[in-house]
Structure 1
Amino acid sequence: MSFEEEWNGLRAEATTRMRLNEAGKGSSGGGGGSGDLIVHQDDLGRVGHEAFLLHDRLKKAGDMTRGAKDDGSTIKAASTLTNHHFTLGGALTTMAMTWNDQLKTLLQACAHISNHLDYSKKSQAHTDAKIAADMARLDGTAMPVSEISKYYK
């Protein structure tokens, strides 16, 4: 391969890389004009908030078998049927217990999603701040690309 061919290949590769580095600065959504990596965490917050709201709604609406003081209509009916020697009473008790177990599992899943996304949002903000501090010079100015590229060799 001649010098000219190799040189033209390297120039084409560099041009492609520069175009990729500039992608996203237009109206298609990327960072603003600063070229900084910016992570928007609004989506994490919205999903976590929806999981929290779902948890509250499920806790209120799904607790129909137990009632306010463990005397919900399902449990009362099961107890009354069992006291009158109906087999259905035992089956209804089993159904109510299964319902409550499934409800607790679903509530735990909603709480886990909400808590995990809250943690992820805070953790990402902390990581972003640490990276920004690590990538700055002592005087607070941005580290030049030539210094950054040393970390990747």
Structure 2
Amino acid sequence: MAWDEWEQAKARAQQDAAMRLNEVAPARGGGDGDLVVHDNVLGALGNAAYDLRQHFSSASDHARQNTFDASVQLFNDGFDMGSALTELHDAWNTKAGTLKEACAHISNHLDYTRAEHAKDAVKIATDLHTIGGDELSVSRINDYYK
């Protein structure tokens, strides 16, 4: 590649990057490429994760004590199945706990995300005012970036 071709390629790359400021290049199949999530959707997802955790927490525990009691009884009666049932019981409790923690993590993260976004929105709105409390005009904002 000759030197002038290199310079032309760099100029095109800079121009393309400047045109895509604050957004992703459009996808080949259509769409604008920007990710948009609405607050009410995040809230609904967080609530669904919380509800799943609560429901699974009670539903997954129905047979826990009976399974453990049966495994102990089978083991005490000399059946190898008793220790296998104990392993199954312990594995189920571990997996159920992992799923409950994951649901709680999702719910908490979405709640945190919504709260932080609301704080950011307030800060942005507050920062775009003069000391006197008047809103900054676009021309006044442009003065800061010239």
Q: Same fold (TM over 0.5)?
A: yes
Pick from 73, 93, 109 the counterpart of residue 66 of structure 2.
73
Q: 1:28-43 maps to which residues of 2 (within 5 A)?
A: 40-43=38-41
Instruction: Output the CA distance in 2 between the equivalents of 1:48 and 1:125.
Output: 16
> 2:62 is aligned with what amino acid?
M
Instruction: Output the CA distance in 1 between the equivalents of 2:86 and 2:144.
Output: 64
User: Offset at 1:146?
Assistant: 2.4
- CA deviation map 1:69-123 (0-9, x unaligned): xxx2111111111001111110110001000000000000011111111111111
- CA deviation map 1:132-153 (0-9, x unaligned): 0001123433222223335556
> 1:111 is aligned with what amino acid?
A
**Structure 2 alignment gaps of length 5 or more:** 1-36
Q: TM-score, normalised by structure 1?
A: 0.66
How many positions carry a matched residue from both structures? 110
Instruction: Output the CA distance in 1 between the equivalents of 2:81 and 2:143.
Output: 75
Q: 1:1-150 maps to which residues of 2 (within 5 A)?
A: 40-66=38-64, 72-150=65-143
> 2:72 is aligned with what amino acid?
S
> 1:46 is aligned with what amino acid?
A
- Contact 1:44/1:121 (CA < 8 Å) preserved in 2? yes
Q: TM-score, normalised by structure 2?
A: 0.69
User: Offset at 1:40?
Assistant: 4.6
CA RMSD in angstroms comes to 1.8
2:5 corresponds in structure 1 to none
- Contact 1:65/1:96 (CA < 8 Å) preserved in 2? no
Identity of aligned residues (%): 42
- CA deviation map 1:5-26 (0-9, x unaligned): xxxxxxxxxxxxxxxxxxxxxx
- Contact 1:65/1:100 (CA < 8 Å) preserved in 2? no
